[in-house]
Homo-oligomer: A and B are copies of this chain.
Amino acid sequence: MQDTVSPAQLRQRIREGLHTGNTSGLAPGYVQCNLAILPADWAGDFLRFCQLNPRPCPLVGMANAPGDVALPPLGDIDIRSDVPSYRVFRDGELTEEVSDITSLWRDDLVTFALGCSFSFEEALLADGLEVRNVSQGVNVPMYRTTIPCHPAGAFGGDMVVSMRPFRAADAIRAVQICTRFPSVHGAPVHLGDPALIGIEDLSRPDYGDAVRVDDDELPLFWACGVTPQVALERARPPFAITHSPGCMLVTDLRNSRLAVL
């Protein structure tokens, strides 16, 4: 698979079962999304949860109606087959991991596509900043915090954040760059002392991998797309589908188009 493949070509390969893994670094320049699919009678609360918590749950697109498998503004998408790997949850428990959900599809399912940190990492890298999880070739470290989300129905809980370390001048630049991209988590929600947001040990992330933090660096914390997944597991809807970690929905939307200025 070449890096220069278009989003449509990549989705075609995924649709045909020829690519079932991570989408990190593929179709560079294009928005990749977190995926959440819920029954219609749960979708209203989830939508309200996203609107109340735009930093961890930035809504980039959603289906026009229950049962719709298309997401027209994001490309020629069939949501049942165009994501490399899906996680299926029943009563809040992960029960299956599959590469196609056509056989599971129901006419009451509502699809949500949420912004993902790949977009702002690309903007940071393009500015010449070192993104530590990228340079170390590992998954970004993620942590549960004590920052409460605004609840909506059964959806609630605390925010999950991702962490990237920077020296101070680069930290300031990173705030500036990410501020331009509110629909992919935007500016950090915290920087400096991890204990102030309930993180006890940076070397022991709750998800992903630990990364090096040098003495002259500050940890920067961004609201993370794992937050809605945790809210989903906590809400325990009878049925739900998400993407598998790192296996994102690749869209035709350019990252640069997400910049508010």
Contacts and interface: CB of A to CB of B under 8 A. Distances in A.
Q: How many copies are assembled?
A: 2
Interface in A156-191: 167-169, 171-172, 175-176, 179, 187-191
A153 interface: no
A261 interface: yes
Given A179-B179, A261-B261, A191 B216 contact: no
Nearest to A195: B216
A216 B196 CA distance: 7
Interface residues of A, number: 19
Contacts of A168: 190-193, 196
Contact of A176 (B167, B175, B216): B175
User: Chain A: interface secondary structure?
Assistant: mixed
A193 B216 contact: yes
A196 to B, nearest CB: 6
A260 to B, nearest CB: 10
A149 interface: no
Contacts of A241: none
A218 interface: yes
A164 B179 CA distance: 21
Given A179-B179, A261-B261, A172 B192 contact: no
A225 to B, nearest CB: 19
Given A179-B179, A261-B261, A172 B196 contact: no
Contacts of A188: 172
A193 B219 CA distance: 13
Q: Which of A168, A187, A190, A216 has the most CB of B within 10 A?
A: A168
B192 A218 contact: yes
Nearest to A221: B168
A189 B167 CA distance: 11
20 contacts: A167-B196, A168-B190, A168-B191, A168-B193, A168-B196, A169-B189, A169-B190, A171-B191, A172-B190, A175-B175, A175-B176, A175-B187, A176-B176, A176-B179, A176-B187, A179-B179, A191-B191, A192-B192, A196-B216, A261-B261
